[in-house]
Amino acid sequence: MTVKSSVQVYNLSGEGIKRIRLPAVFNTPIRPDVITKVVAALQSHRIQPQGRNPMAGQRTSAESLGTGHGLARVPRVKGERYPRSGAAAVAPGTVKGRAGHPPSSQKAVRKKINKKERILALKSAIAATAHRELVSNRGHAIEDVLNFPLVVDDSMQEIARTKQLQEALAKLGVWPDVLRVSQNVKI
């Protein structure tokens, strides 16, 4: 896919005021495979490590009696005239025993990503925003958008009221997509 070398700059009324040259980042080849890989790695950074207490199921006086008692050799709680005495403990599979292979907080859940690969994914994602069909395939409502990529002059930063922003986005053709997003957000 080729990208135009220059693009129209619009004011808040939706009128083209000048043309500017697009930055070189928009000529980066689009690599969905790299973008997917980097997104998966970045999402893994939000996973909180979880594990079980290493002493869980082992806070007991249980010891194995060994052989020659006509009992299984699982560790049994010590004591007499005590409801828990003689009950199997510690071993996985027993009541109040430890877990067999519990989750470990030491497990490496954070995926690493190469620096150059991460930069390539970012450039590739930015370049993809210049293609109407790719943006449309993502589900954005962009039928009324004037141009791709949409470039607006600096007067956008001077907007102080939400009503003014709504009017500007409507004139630029972006408002239907904002409505689409606002209806999908569930908190």
* 114-132 tens-digit pLDDT: 999 999 999 999 999 999 8
Classified as helix, coil or strand, 170 is helix
Q: Which of 26-30, 56-60, 136-140 has the lowest mean pLDDT?
A: 136-140
Ranges of each domain in the chain: 6-49+110-184, 50-109
Q: Which CATH class is domain 6-49+110-184?
A: alpha beta
Kindly report the three-state secondary structure assignment for every residue of 51-77.
CCCCCCCCCCCCECCCCCCCCCCCCEC
* 77-113 tens-digit pLDDT: 999 999 999 999 999 999 999 999 999 999 999 999 9
Model's pTM, two decimal places?
A: 0.76
* 158-182 tens-digit pLDDT: 999 999 999 999 999 999 999 998 8
